[in-house]
Amino acid sequence: MSLILRLLLFILASTFFLIISQRALKNPRSHGFFRFFIFEGILIIFLLNAPYWFHAPLSIRQIVSTALLFASIYCVVQGVSLLKRKGGQRRRDSIPENLGFENTEHLVTEGIFAYIRHPMYTSLLLLAWGLFLKNITLIGLVVVITTTVFVVVAARVEEGENIAFWGLRYRAYMRRTHRFIPFLY
């Protein structure tokens, strides 16, 4: 993939992220504010490593990368599916910058949510690190670590929003689940 094409894709994707994040970017206290920077970081890692996607496909690094990418897909599909089926919809006036699917009425605590509170953020972490492993560079390392920090901050901010919305139920849920990695963290 040529540099010109990657720059064009960066501009187009960043414009899309700006459009869907415009309300969140006006509120630095919302998790959506940080999510914009997560998307940008993942985009940068993808575009940096796109030329190396299929180099040495049977190397350990590429196999681990592919496994992380598939795990990322699994987490996001499971999370979104459960939110749609079990979460319901309820407008949250206190967080008008939320995207529609985020405004669930019911606290979903089954399936993947029985183990981790943030399967979509876990998906983004797996995606970022899977993309990074395609071609390990110092700049890629800086971007993936920065993206990871933004994911952790976004999850913590979202947990505060969820405590404000669900109160003690969410606090109890937090005590029996992990943030990103089942049984670990």
Closest by Cα among 70, 75, 73, 82 to 107: 82
According to the model, what pLDDT value does residue 113 have?
97
According to the model, what pLDDT value does residue 88 have?
80
Distances (CA, A) of 7 to 12, 29, 174: 9, 30, 41
Q: What is the mean pLDDT of each run of 10 residues along the chain (185 residues)?
A: 91 95 91 96 97 90 96 96 86 70 85 96 98 97 98 97 93 96 84
According to the model, what pLDDT value does residue 90 have?
72
pTM of the model: 0.91
Closest by Cα among 121, 96, 100 to 26: 96
Cα–Cα distance between 175 and 24 in angstroms, integer? 28
